[in-house]
Amino acid sequence: MSDNLFEFLCRMGDNTLVLGHRVSEWCGHAPVLEEDIALANTALDLIGQTTLWLDLAGEVEGAGRDADKLAFHRDVWGFRNLLLVEQPNGDFGQTMMRQFLFDAWHLSQLNALMDSSNTQIAAIAEKSAKEVTYHLERATETVIGLGDGTEESHNRMQAALDKLWPYVGEMFTLDDVDAAMVDAGIAPDPASLRPAYDALLDDVFAAATLTKPQDDFGHQGGKSGKRHSEHLGHMLAQMQWLQRAYPDATW
Amino acid sequence: MYAQMIKSTGEGVKSLDEMEPQERAFQERINAGGKIEPKDWMPDGYRKNLIRQIGQHAHSEIVGQLPEGNWITRAPTLERKAILLAKVQDEAGHGLYLYCAAETLGVTRDQLTRDLLSGKMKYSSIFNYPTLTWADMGAVGWLVDGAAIMNQVPLQRTSYGPYARAMVRICKEESFHQRQGYDIMMKMAKGTKAQKKMAQDALNRFWGPALMMFGPSDENSVHSAQSMAWKIKMNSNDELRQKFVDECVPQAEYLGLTVPDPDLKWNEERGHYDFTQPDWDEFFDVLRGNGPCNKERLAARNKAWDDGAWVRDGLMAHAAKKRAAKLAAE
Ligand SMILES: [Fe+2]
Ligand SMILES: [Fe+2]
Ligand SMILES: [Fe+2]
């Protein structure tokens, strides 16, 4: 049980860590000042959530690792984030489409986790849900605004959706870790979140004049850690470099 | 100081007797410590100078995101990453308040941005230096935010209301930044041998450029005299630089680091440290565009602006469609 719980907590924390890192790459380079501020704010929330999830993961594991140890001293195969969040930023449209596709799942996951049988998880979910509600609002507005903007912005948003769509399926697949969480009343069955997700996307894409791709193929391997994309290794090389180069230092 | 080498348009400071009644009333209000507000009458020179000064300050906040943003993806712990992100976010916020303050004088943010991107308007020379190690995040917070505070605290009493109020908000955050920077320096200076070396190296590289932030001596400058009469400049550059040195030297000693100035010593008679002037030739080179990072910084800002054009256009087009639909429904 504690192995599965550790895995599950790493999934939650690695999603926020990897996406937070990606979003932070924008710092100082956004299309307008207000977006710089909003992106930094999103990254900041996600990094804060990471600390909560991964500290709890370390506690459950009981091997003396804390959030920093987990974040900076695991290699690619140790990461349990969805493939979606490790995808590169691309243009601003791709970044915001990734954010929307993730936030829509993330918020319903957190809402369900607020009823978790594990009170620590419920507490983290409650705190995170407040922040993620705002992330989703903002991502939704941006997807609609750019989808239904100019011809160029529309085309870019459609291209972003087409590109990222194959990474949506992974959020809703059930594996042994998920099954153990469902049995223990800790987390919802991933598939149970899909209908509401689809309904939300249909509404938003209609307003954004975007077309959901027909093909429902979904890449797998992120949350299980079995096969990440090549992108993750480069991210870790940058993120972990200082910790790895000076392992005896405290910062 | 984030606004360097601001040249006022005046030919020397007029006495009250030489002024027309309107200007005299304006100057008397300033002399009495009153505030000038956007709708009030003001001399053209006052307006132009303030636009340049506030604009340059705003641009410095914006370009200032880059050298620190350079380390966000390599910050060594989650907490340090969060602190740095929050700091860089604050700087963007400062840019925003300052552009708003400048807009009350009749320019737009877009106009000012275009002047930054074309190189017509400047930003502080300090942001044309590279950040090479994690200790630079400490040195920048400690010295660069420290120098900014030295200049900006007195500007909380500046005569132009919107500028003074922006400064009050900004100064609060800048002092956080300075403390956080010093905290990084402390960890580094008291850390492993390698960390201590990084800390000393950062101080070596940033000391001179930090002293340059106050600008060259302006004791005999007519421009400064006018700005001081208008209370948009509160102290001379040398005064502020001396204050900065006096404050930093004991802080460096506490860290166990050596200020890279062999002639630095306490002068009992003056009650101040004697110190070596920074390399002013280097300063003018940086101002002319030949600093180590001028090209990269401006290129990064231009790229962000150009790449973002479709986003700004798209969001505006959408807003226009929504307005039209609302109008049609009414
Ligand atoms: Fe600032
Ligand atoms: Fe600053
Ligand atoms: Fe600052």
pLDDT number for residue B12:
72
B149 close to B76: Cβ distance less than 8 angstroms: no
Q: What is the pLDDT of residues A127-164, one digit of tens each?
A: 999 999 999 999 999 999 999 999 999 999 999 999 99
Q: Report which secondary-structure segment, H or E, holds B125.
A: none
On chain A, the residues whose CB falls within 8 A of the CB of B317 are 149-150, 153
pLDDT number for residue A1:
65
Average pLDDT over residues A219-229: 97
What's B273's DSSP letter? E
> What is the A232 CA–ligand 2 centroid distance (Å)?
33
Q: Nearest chain B Cα to A51, which residue?
A: B78
pLDDT number for residue A184:
97
CATH for the stretch A2-245: 1.20.1260.10
For residue B109, is it within any domain?
Answer: yes
Residue B55 corresponds to which amino acid? Answer: G
Please provide residue B272's backbone torsions phi and psi, each rounded to the nearest 5 degrees. -140, 165
Look-up of token digits 């925003």: B96
Q: What is the pLDDT of residues B233-291, one digit of tens each?
A: 999 999 999 999 999 999 999 999 999 999 999 999 999 999 999 999 999 999 999 99
Distance CA B290, CA B282 (A): 9
For residue B312, is it within any domain?
Answer: no
**pLDDT band at B2; cut points 50, 70, 90:** confident
Q: What is the largest CA-CA distance in chain A?
A: 54
Number of H helices, E strands in chain B: 14, 2
On chain B, the residues whose CB falls within 8 A of the CB of A243 are 76-77
pLDDT at position B11 over 90: no
Mean pLDDT of chain A: 97
pLDDT at position B3 over 90: no
Number of H helices, E strands in chain A: 11, 0
Distance CA A55, CA A51 (A): 6
pLDDT at position A71 over 70: yes
Supply A146's token pair: 């750019």
Distance CA A194, CA A208 (A): 20
For residue B102, is it within any domain?
Answer: yes
CATH assignment of the domain containing B238: 1.20.1260.10
How big is chain A by its Cα radius of gyration, in Å?
A: 18
Average pLDDT over residues A74-103: 98
Please provide residue B242's backbone torsions phi and psi, each rounded to the nearest 5 degrees. -60, -45
> What is the B183 CA–ligand 1 centroid distance (Å)?
18
For residue B236, is it within any domain?
Answer: yes
Q: What is the pLDDT of residues B17-35, one digit of tens each?
A: 999 999 999 999 999 999 9
List B267's β-bridge partners, or say none: B272
List B272's β-bridge partners, or say none: B267
Domain ranges of chain A: 2-245
> What is the A96 CA–ligand 2 centroid distance (Å)?
28
For residue B323, is it within any domain?
Answer: no
On chain B, the residues whose CB falls within 8 A of the CB of A91 are 307
Distance CA B126, CA B287 (A): 10
pLDDT number for residue B4:
73
A153 close to B320: Cβ distance less than 8 angstroms: no
Number of structural domains, chain B? 1
A188 close to A116: Cβ distance less than 8 angstroms: no
Q: What is the pLDDT of residues A39-56, one digit of tens each?
A: 999 999 999 999 999 999
Cβ–Cβ contacts within 10 Å for residue A79, how many? Answer: 25
Q: Nearest chain B Cα to A141, which residue?
A: B315
Cβ–Cβ contacts within 10 Å for residue B206, how many? Answer: 23
Distance CA B269, CA B286 (A): 35
Q: State whether residue B76 is helix, strand or coil.
A: coil
Among partner residues B65, B78, B191, which is closest to A249 by beta-carbon distance?
B191
pLDDT at position B10 over 70: no
DSSP characters for B189-225?
HTS-HHHHHHHHHHHHHHHHHHHHTT-S--TT-HHHH
**pLDDT band at B6; cut points 50, 70, 90:** low
Helix pair angle (B294-307, B44-63), 10° resolution: 90
On chain A, the residues whose CB falls within 8 A of the CB of B97 are none
B9 close to B47: Cβ distance less than 8 angstroms: no
Average pLDDT over residues B75-85: 98
Task: Note down the domain range covering B47.
Answer: 16-291
Among partner residues B85, B184, B318, which is closest to A43 by beta-carbon distance?
B85
Q: What percent of chain B has pLDDT over 70?
A: 97
Phi-psi sector, A189: left (phi>0), alpha (psi -120 to 50), beta: beta
> What is the B293 CA–ligand 3 centroid distance (Å)?
19
Q: State whether residue B42 is helix, strand or coil.
A: coil
Report CA-CA distances (Å) from A78 to A49, A72, A223, A227, B58.
Answer: 19, 11, 10, 11, 43
Look-up of token digits 């969001």: B315
> A88-117: string of b/e by CB count within 10 Å (b at 16+)?
eebbbbbbbbbbbbbbbbbbbbbbbbeebe
Look-up of token digits 């529309």: A154
Cβ–Cβ contacts within 10 Å for residue A224, how many? Answer: 16
Q: Closest by alpha carbon to A190, among A105, A81, A101? A: A105
Q: Nearest chain A Cα to B137, which residue?
A: A251
Report CA-CA distances (Å) from A102 to A81, A107, A174, A232, B302.
Answer: 11, 9, 17, 17, 30
Q: What is the pLDDT of residues B184-216, one digit of tens each?
A: 999 999 999 999 999 999 999 999 999 999 999
Q: What is the pLDDT of residues B37-76, one digit of tens each?
A: 999 999 999 999 999 999 999 999 999 999 999 999 999 9
Q: What is the pLDDT of residues B138-193, one digit of tens each?
A: 999 999 999 999 999 999 999 999 999 999 999 999 999 999 999 999 999 999 99
List B265's β-bridge partners, or say none: B274
How big is chain B by its Cα radius of gyration, in Å?
A: 21
B293 close to B129: Cβ distance less than 8 angstroms: yes
Contact A238 B73 (CB under 8 A): yes
Q: Closest by alpha carbon to B203, among B149, B251, B148, B275? A: B251
Cβ–Cβ contacts within 10 Å for residue B118, how many? Answer: 10
Both ends of chain A: CA-CA distance in Å?
34
Look-up of token digits 């969040």: A85
Q: State whether residue A250 is helix, strand or coil.
A: coil
DSSP characters for B132-159?
-STHHHHHIIIIIIHHHHHHHHHHTT-S
For residue B299, is it within any domain?
Answer: no
Contact A241 B89 (CB under 8 A): no
pLDDT at position A24 over 70: yes
Contact A72 B76 (CB under 8 A): yes
Neighbouring residues of A161: CB distance < 8 A, sequence distance ≥ 6: A97, A205, A210, A211, A212, A213
pTM summary value: 0.95
On chain B, the residues whose CB falls within 8 A of the CB of A146 are 311, 314-315, 318
Give B18: exposed, middle or buried? Use CB within 10 Å, 0-12, 13-18, 19+: exposed
Distance CA A159, CA A154 (A): 9
pLDDT number for residue A186:
98
